[in-house]
Chain A
Amino acid sequence: MSKPVIQIKNLEKVYEGAVPVHAVNGINLTITEGEFTALKGPSGCGKTTLLNLLGGLDKPTSGSIEIGGVDITTLSENQLIDFRLRNIGFVFQAYNLIPVLSAQENVSFIMLLQDRPKEEREARAQQLLEAVGLKGKEGQRPGQLSGGQQQRVAVARALASKPQFVLADEPTANLDSTSTANLLDIMEKLNKEEGMTFVFATHDDRVIKKARRIISIEDGKVLSDE
């Protein structure tokens, strides 16, 4: 039986205002190693908020998130940043690459933050870029790459730190069908061959079809878990 990677208990996120908004409303979930999971639901249902909470980018109002036995809701800001650096890979809808760095530099930068030796950084960045089908594009900057290629660089960057799991927020939202298919193939391959855990927030049917677990979210609550 696979061991749990993420355990969420009674998670709540309330945005205060004239009318408080319960973006995440008492979610309990367990994600195990090697899962290829999609969080689906309409816009505004709370899936991105949940993903941000899982990634430690946002603080919950209440509840706990245990990752590898560590409750990240109790960590200080710096501890949380260090935790993210070593345990979590991110793929964002808008790619979020550093525009002044080349594809290879974008991938290896995260390893620089981990103080890994230069040879290792360069070798792993090249290996990952080759794995996502970008061999020969290492020296190109994000502005010189297509949307699909940029998202593949983002996937390579997410994997560069050897994280426990990858969180992907609408990774295909800006991609055409061919690029989407390519990207999903790459992520599925990495999931199967390297056992990498992927959690997607999406409402893209193409992604949902590929997922082996589909969690439906509505109004900040889990509606179904298949």
Chain B
Amino acid sequence: MITIAAVMFCVIFAVVLRSFQVGVWEHMVDDIVANNFGYLQVHQKGFWGEQSLDLSMDEAALPVAQWQEVDGVRSVVRRLESFSLVSTGQSNRGSLVLGIEPEFELPGLQLIDQIVSGSVFEPGSDQVVVSEGLAEFLKVGVGDSLLFLSQGYRGASAYGQFMVSGIAKISNPELNKQLVLMPLQTAQWMYNGMGLLTTAVIDIEPTADHKEVKAELLPILGEELELLEWEELFPELIQTIEADMAGGQIFITILYFIISFVLLGTVIMMVSEREREFGILVSIGMRKSKLAVVTVLENLILTLGGAIVGMALVKPVQFYFKYNPIDISGQMKEAIEQFDFEPKLYTTTSFIINLNHGAIVFVIGILVSSYAVWKIMKLEPVKSMRS
């Protein structure tokens, strides 16, 4: 019972720890990629590197209908994105300007759930939606006007004055500090790029594999265009994830050392409690090798049982914290937000983590049972029976 409980708690502890680490990243990728930027984006070749409006695509020339026929493609979302100095007269900030069509957008930019005050702009209107963080910085509210000054298509001046129709809370902290959303046609007008798009987001079915969709899209893409996966769009995100995972790996390795000693403790206790029994069995004629095999098998069954129970019991915890993340507050929250991370701890519900860590704890359990084998092989029946 002690062995089962020890293994079970070790599995639960390891899985919970790893679930939070993976879950935070999973949520962040899901938020950035699935909700805001998409798993695949089409640009004019070179746009993503230079971020220049001069590398825009002609909307009318894009074979959007053909792309939409590809298996796994749900829709093609049209955007014009650029940068602009946004000013209230008293304060100003360089901002990311996105010209979008909210009704066709990815969930994170549909603005229905994101608006915290005011309303979504009308298509083609002189209205904008400002992200909450930027609105706080500029000290603007619904009904205020903002001045935009930037460079447009092929060196043209881009400027305009637009009224704030709504304030939106964008879940990604980085975007929430600098994003201005406006109708696509309004952005095309301001940047002197009527009929131009910088980005066509390929919105894929939740069950589709974006690499498979990419492979099918490439032959019908056109020579002037490039199709980038989210990993190519955000290599720094991948690096950050990998660095964090490596750090987590060190932590989990330390945890496994602790777990190993906990499990070794239970084996030492078990051997100590049963030393007399082992002595009796050997004295009446049970070979030590047979006794060792039986003990390892016994330990194997107990460890496997504990691992399975642990993997199963931790599942509700994973589900609970995936949908009810832990809010981080105080100084920790501020520190996390400085790194543009959402200050919430989510878990992942991926069962692979349970299987991996259940298997690792199981293997540790089997390895530490070699202590019992060692003790049995050097057992002296007379001494053991006196214990």
Binding site for B on A (CB under 8 A): 52, 55, 57-58, 77-78, 81-82, 84-86, 90, 92, 94, 96-99, 109-110, 113-114, 157, 161
Contacts and interface: CB of A to CB of B under 8 A. Distances in A.
Given A52-B382, A57-B381, A96-B385, A81 B288 contact: yes
Contacts of A90: 283-284
B211 interface: no
A74 B365 CA distance: 38
B283 A57 contact: yes
A78 B287 contact: yes
Given A52-B382, A57-B381, A161 B285 contact: yes
| From B277, B281, B283, residue with most partner A Cβ within 10 Å | B283
B286 interface: yes
B287 A82 contact: yes
Nearest to B277: A98
B200 interface: no
B220 to A, nearest CB: 71
Contact of A85 (B276, B284, B289, B382): B284
29 contacts: A52-B382, A57-B381, A57-B382, A58-B382, A77-B288, A78-B288, A81-B282, A81-B285, A82-B285, A82-B287, A84-B283, A84-B285, A85-B285, A85-B286, A90-B283, A92-B385, A94-B385, A96-B276, A98-B277, A98-B281, A99-B277, A109-B284, A110-B284, A110-B285, A113-B284, A113-B285, A113-B286, A114-B285, A161-B285
Interface string B281-313: 111111111000000000000000000000000
Given A110-B284, A113-B286, 5 more contacts: A78-B289, A82-B287, A84-B285, A96-B283, A113-B285
B280 interface: yes
B1 to A, nearest CB: 13
B172 to A, nearest CB: 60
Nearest to B282: A81
A36 B258 CA distance: 57
| From A81, A99, A113, residue with most partner B Cβ within 10 Å | A81
Nearest to A89: B284
Contacts of B285: 81-82, 84-86, 110, 113-114, 161
B287 A84 contact: no
Contacts of A57: 283, 381-382
A57 to B, nearest CB: 5
B382 A81 contact: no
B280 A98 contact: yes
Nearest to B290: A113
User: What are the 7 A-B residue pairs with the smallest beta carbon separation, nearest first?
Assistant: A85-B285, A96-B280, A84-B285, A57-B382, A57-B381, A81-B287, A113-B285
Contacts of B288: 77-78, 81
Contacts of A97: 280
A3 B276 CA distance: 36
A50 B382 CA distance: 12
Contacts of B281: 98
Nearest to A58: B382
Contacts of A96: 276, 280, 283, 385
Contacts of B284: 84-85, 90, 109-110, 113, 157
Contacts of B282: 81
Contacts of A94: 385
Interface in B248-287: 276-277, 280-287
B286 to A, nearest CB: 6
Contacts of A82: 285, 287
Nearest to A160: B284
B3 to A, nearest CB: 15
A58 B284 CA distance: 13
A177 B284 CA distance: 28
Contacts of A98: 277, 280-281
B142 to A, nearest CB: 76
A99 to B, nearest CB: 7
A82 B287 CA distance: 7
A96 B382 CA distance: 12
A31 B241 CA distance: 79
Contacts of B276: 96
Contacts of B280: 96-98
Interface in B364-387: 381-382, 385
A23 to B, nearest CB: 12
Contacts of A78: 287-289
A81 B217 CA distance: 73
Contacts of B385: 92, 94, 96
A94 B284 CA distance: 14
Contacts of A99: 277
A94 B282 CA distance: 16
A66 B234 CA distance: 83
A77 B285 CA distance: 11
Given A57-B381, A57-B382, A96-B385, A81 B286 contact: yes
Contacts of A109: 284
A155 to B, nearest CB: 13
Contacts of A55: 283
